Amino acid sequence: MNMKVLVTGGAGYLGTVLCRKLLEKDYKVRAFDRLLFGSEPAKDLLDRDGFELVEGDITRVDEHPALFDGIDGVIHLAGLANDPSCDLRPEMTERVNYRASLALAQKAKAKGIRPFIFAASCSVYGAGEGELKETSPLNPVSLYAEIKIKTEGALNEMAGASFWPVHLRQATLFGLSRRMRFDLAVNVMVLHGTMNKKIYVLGGGKQWRPFVHVEDSSDAFIAALERAEALSCEAINIGSNKLNYQICDLADIIAANLEDVTLEVAPGDAERRTYKVNFDKMTRLLGTTPTWTVEDGVREISEALAAGSVPEPESPRYYNIKLLKELVEKPATMGGEPACDDFVPFSLPLLGKEEEKEVIAVLRSGWLTTGPRTQRFEELAREYLGCSQAVAVNSCTGALHLTLAALGIGQGDEVITSPITWPSTANVIVHLGARPVFVDVERDTLNIDPDLIEEKITDRTKAIVPVHMAGRPCDMDRISEIADRHGLAVVEDAAHAIGSAYKGRKIGTIGKAACFSFYPIKNITTIEGGLVATDDEELAENVRILSLHGITKDAWKRYTASGTQHWEVVVPGYKYNMSDVQAALGIHQLPKLEGFIQKRAAMADFYSQGLKELSDVVTLPCDQPDIRHAWHLYIVTLNTDGLSVDRDSFINGLKAENVGTGIHFRSLHTQGYYRETYKHKPEDFPNAAYLTDRIFSLPLYPKMDGEETSGVLRAMVKLLRYYSKGA
């Protein structure tokens, strides 16, 4: 017989024994295994004819396009293999044991492979009563068992003439394997009895369990493979009627077969999982009956331990849960398990059907650019912000540029702003021929430090542009007071701050004007978009004229029935108007803003609660009375002195954990143009320089679900702990 079998988990505890037996029966074998133990367990198999070992993860089968080539049947053993391992990270269990199993089966089926023998488990009977048969009620008491049941069911749904899944519900395995496990009842009792002369009885000892030796279980898998067509969709218990034991009796037998061993019933609650199983169906349908007794297993394992053929038997790697914990705690960049199953992007917009419909309506209306929907958006913005004037434009950059231009800022003027900002805050000042004069930020708020503003004011200073970083309002009382005293305009860079409030007043109603952004990652989006909010009618009018080439009022209406063909250039303006396609999004996004902010705030709180115990290595956004933070960003500052990695390596580490991040921002005074042109040195703005190398932003957006925020937090905690020098 020359059938070729793919054995997932082929270098594992059962897999190594099964592969050897398959080869002995002249099968060809391709073992697919993550090799957490290296290839050592498969060493004896590697030089045998007909054996191949492919290193890989069942959750990433796509990386192995030739995996199924030449394969006639699949034995699927790979997965997380006991209750505690499955409880460690439930979503990982779902992904590995369920989703990956189905994906594997679908691929096998698509390749025309019919036999698919699935390693199921008797633990599906859970808290069982009486002698349990395959037809008995399933009563799982663990996630491990629940997922085994779900997988059996889903595989059966795929079954048909061209796909034959068979489920082997194994009893608790025991026996010697080249990839040894000591987290199985018989094996661990033999280990402790041999090494410590003491056997611990866990879970009370009264619970029933059936047992089966790995050699006998392997025979059952081979028999099932050979009869798969006739057995399609069958679940078959794998074990022996003679090997059902209560744990305390099992301990007695093992103790009796070793020398000078005492028993100790460990304190703790009685285990809920108890099942005594009937195995007649196995003998009837597979024609195999186990021959190995527990006593045989004791002899075999104790001899191997005495001969020293299990290296470092006390090592945690013989316990799946310990192995898995190590894997989960290790950074993914070093071969550990990523904290998030799927990549969590840094940001995603949340758009609904309303936005979609409105955009289509605009496209069908024939009026695409600035028009009725832009007007409607401005009206909604005025209502929401509580300002008298709102001019919608195509970006916050445009909004800032226009406002400063409309205020007459130009050649030779100076404008004060902070260097921790997006380039456009300063770029637009340069575009106008003026000079951006930086004032350092506060380390805890990342906002302009009001104490340092006055020393930078000269007779050329015309305006202050405070940036409400991340949606946290600047100290507007102090800034306004300074500005008033020196006759300066305050133009707020409120790109992050739609929905923020300072002492009960919404941002957009405090300074001379506030400029908002609706870029896709912002709290609401119009794809690209911005808005100038002000109470100054003349300023708004000038911004509007400048936003559309500097041609006369209502020029946008020139193609409407009520418009006029004649227009006049009154000033050389810009082209920054918002289109109705953009506004179509805005008029549905704005009413959702409050809900979005509440979600963002709840997520920010979740991160802060989860990270607060790590405050020696990470500084979190600070609490501040009298403000409403709009939580556009959740920015943390790494205490790199307490860590063995720098910020960039840390965020690369997060990427490997499947977490996207952003840097908001590298200080402008350290960047090419500003550094060279104004001869800034890093130490000119010490806080901005400090933050430049230490800050980054975590994903925070209403589209995220609880699993994603938990994953991000898990990744942060893992890396902070791992790289903490104090750990």
Ligand X SMILES: Cc1ncc(COP(=O)(O)O)c(C=O)c1O
Instruction: List, by residue number, the catalytic residues.
Output: 522
Q: Pull the structure tokens for residue 192.
A: 């402790």
DSSP label at 388?
S
> What values do phi and psi take at 286, rounded to 5?
-100, -20
Based on its alpha-carbon atoms, the radius of gyration of the chain, rounded to whole angstroms, reads: 34
Interaction between residue 617 and ligand X (CB under 6 A): no
Identify which of residues 126 and 529 has a Cβ nearer to ligand X in the complex.
529
Three-class SS string for 442-455? CCCCCCECHHHCHH
- Compare residues 397 and 658 and give the one whose CB is closer to ligand X: 397
Q: How far is the CB of 377 from ligand X (least distance, A)?
A: 15
207, 517, 534, 582: which one contacts ligand X (CB under 6 A)? 517
- Of 33, 94, 442, 493, the residue at the interface with ligand X (CB under 6 A) is 493
Q: What is the dihedral of CA 130, 133, 134, 138, to 10 degrees?
A: 0
Q: In the bound complex, what is the minimum distance in angstroms from residue 522's beta carbon to ligand X?
A: 7
In terms of CB distance, is 531 or 643 closer to ligand X? 531
Least distance (Å) from ligand X to the CB of residue 144?
Answer: 46
Please pick, from the candidates 210, 349, 530, 573, the single residue that binds ligand X as defined by CB under 6 A: 530
Distance from C-alpha of 533 to C-alpha of 516, rounded to nearest angstrom: 8
71, 236, 453, 495: which one binds ligand X (CB under 6 A): 495
C-beta of 240 vs 425, nearer to ligand X: 425
Kind and range of the H or E element at 692? helix 686-692
Distance CA 233, CA 430 (A): 73
Instruction: Tell whether residue 542 is a contact of ligand X (CB under 6 A).
Output: no
Q: How far is the CB of 584 from ligand X (least distance, A)?
A: 17
Q: Which of 27, 32, 519, 650 binds ligand X (CB under 6 A)?
A: 519
- Least separation in angstroms between residue 119's CB and ligand X is 51
> Least separation, in Å, of the C-beta of 520 and ligand X?
9
168 backbone dihedrals φ, ψ, rounded to 5°: -100, 105
**Residue of 372, 380, 391 lying closest to 531 (CA atoms):** 391
Q: How far is the CB of 662 from ligand X (least distance, A)?
A: 10
Per CB under 6 A, 134 contacts ligand X: no
Considering the rule CB under 6 A, would residue 524 count as an interface residue with ligand X? no
| The only residue of 138, 189, 467, 540 in contact with ligand X, by rule CB under 6 A | 467
Name the minimum Å distance from CB 535 to ligand X.
22
Whether residue 15 contacts residue 33, with contact meaning beta carbons closer than 8 Å, is answered with: yes
Distance CA 541, CA 534 (A): 11
The position carrying tokens 């061993």 is 261
Instruction: Tell me if 438 contacts ligand X by CB under 6 A.
Output: no
The number of residues in the chain equals 727
Three-class secondary structure of residue 146 per DSSP: helix
The residue range among 73-81, 131-139, 492-500, 690-698 that interacts with ligand X, by the rule CB under 6 A, is: 492-500
Per CB under 6 A, 255 contacts ligand X = no
CA angle at 627 for the pair 626 and 628, rounded to the nearest 5°: 135
End-to-end Cα spacing for the chain: 57
Looking at the Cβ atoms of 465 and 643, the one nearer to ligand X is: 465
Strand 414-417 and strand 489-494: the pairing is unpaired
218 binds ligand X (CB under 6 A): no
Q: Which is nearer to ligand X, 397 or 709 (CB)?
A: 397
User: Pattern 389-428, binding to ligand X, x per CB under 6 A?
Assistant: ------xxx-----------------------xx-xx---
Q: From residue 406, how far is each of 126, 429, 540 by CA, in Å?
A: 75, 12, 8
When the beta carbons of 215 and 492 are compared against ligand X, the nearer one is 492
Quick one: which segment of 490-498, 546-554, 646-654, 677-685 binds ligand X (CB under 6 A)? 490-498
* Measured distance CA(180)–CA(14) in Å, rounded: 9
- CA nearest neighbour of 685 among 419, 415, 456, 414: 419
Q: Judged by CB, which is closer to ligand X: 205, or 508?
A: 508
Helix (H, G, I), strand (E, B) or coil at 541: helix
Spatial neighbors of 14 by CB under 8 A, at least 6 apart, are 77, 119, 173, 177, 214, 217, 218
Burial 151-163 (b: 16+ CB within 10 A, else e): bbebbeebbeeeb
Q: How far apart are CA 335 and CA 145, in angstroms?
A: 28
Contact 611, 713 (CB under 8 A): yes
Q: Give the residue with the Cβ less far from ligand X, 105 or 636.
A: 636
Q: Smallest distance from the beta carbon of 415 to ligand X, in angstroms?
A: 14
- What is d(CA 390, CA 394) in angstroms, rounded to the nearest whole number? 13
Binding part of the chain for ligand X, among 84-92, 106-114, 325-333, 493-501 by CB under 6 A, reads: 493-501
The count of chain residues that interact with ligand X, using the rule CB under 6 A, is 14
Verify binding: residue 446, ligand X, rule CB under 6 A: no
Residues in contact with ligand X by CB under 6 A are 395-397, 421-422, 424-425, 467, 493, 495-496, 517, 519, 530
